[in-house]
A and B are shown apart, each in its own frame.
Chain A
């Protein structure tokens, strides 16, 4: 029973264009959402997060959008750069649902940015 789903295993984008990575969740108790980037042989690197009281958070080239009614979030990367090529994980937590600290991860989307 997957509570966090990333339905696209891979995504290929041209350098300079927008990358949009999508994530769906099923648990309505989730109130904190994060995106991580992972290179091979390294641990996940935190990118950006959003709490359920917001619908958008922006940090440089990265923007996360949250649609609570649809239980959907997305990560936009603009403009995409070849160094962004990595696996991107969506994660969620129910901080006030008794699961403090328990991040539930999606299976990841492999982003390839082509020069």
Chain B
């Protein structure tokens, strides 16, 4: 059982839609992350939130907009995505940004039509 919960598990959307991915953890972690994983590739970091503030944005296009409403929740708002954005989106959390492991959710499988 994962302690990082992501919803939805699957999402199909058109290029003009607006949708959001949600991530929740109740481990008291203060750092949360979004990763993107394409088929047969390793996960790649998109964003890092540390103590509810965006600390790293790995040059992600503005059609992806992260939000951290509180220390337990992390959202990823999607708008005007492209077919190449189809991927597995993974959320992770860690105690803080130091020498503690990141714990991952099971991801949202996103398909852009």
Given A43-B4, A43-B106, A108–B42 Cβ distance below 8 Å? yes
Q: Which residue of B lies closest to A43 (CB)?
A: B104
The answer to the question of A70 belonging to the interface, with a C-beta cut-off of 8 Å to chain B, is no
Q: Which residue of B lies closest to A2 (CB)?
A: B42
A18-48 interface with B by 8 A CB criterion: 32, 34, 36, 41-46
Min CB gap A67→B, angstroms: 19
Return the contact of B105 from the options A4, A32, A43, A108 (Cβ within 8 A): A43
Q: Does A100 lie within 8 Å of B97, measured CB to CB?
A: yes
State in angstroms the CA–CA spacing of A106 and B40 once bound together. Answer: 11
Q: Which residue of B lies closest to A53 (CB)?
A: B99
| Interface-facing stretch out of B13-21, B43-51, B61-69, B77-85 | B43-51
The secondary-structure label for the interface of chain A is loop
Number of interface residues of A (CB under 8 A): 22
Q: Does A101 lie within 8 Å of B55, measured CB to CB?
A: yes
The answer to the question of B90 belonging to the interface, with a C-beta cut-off of 8 Å to chain A, is yes
Most buried by A among B43, B56, B107: B43
Q: Which residues of A contact B55 (CB under 8 A)?
A: 100-101
Q: Does B56 lie within 8 Å of A42, measured CB to CB?
A: no
Min CB gap B16→A, angstroms: 29
Given A101-B45, A108-B42, A46–B56 Cβ distance below 8 Å? no
Chain B interface residues (CB < 8 Å from chain A): 2, 4, 6, 31, 33, 40-45, 48, 50, 55-56, 58, 90, 92, 94, 97-99, 101-107
Known: A46-B103, A101-B97. 11 other contacts (CB 8 A): A43-B104, A44-B104, A45-B2, A46-B102, A95-B99, A100-B56, A100-B97, A101-B45, A101-B56, A105-B44, A106-B42
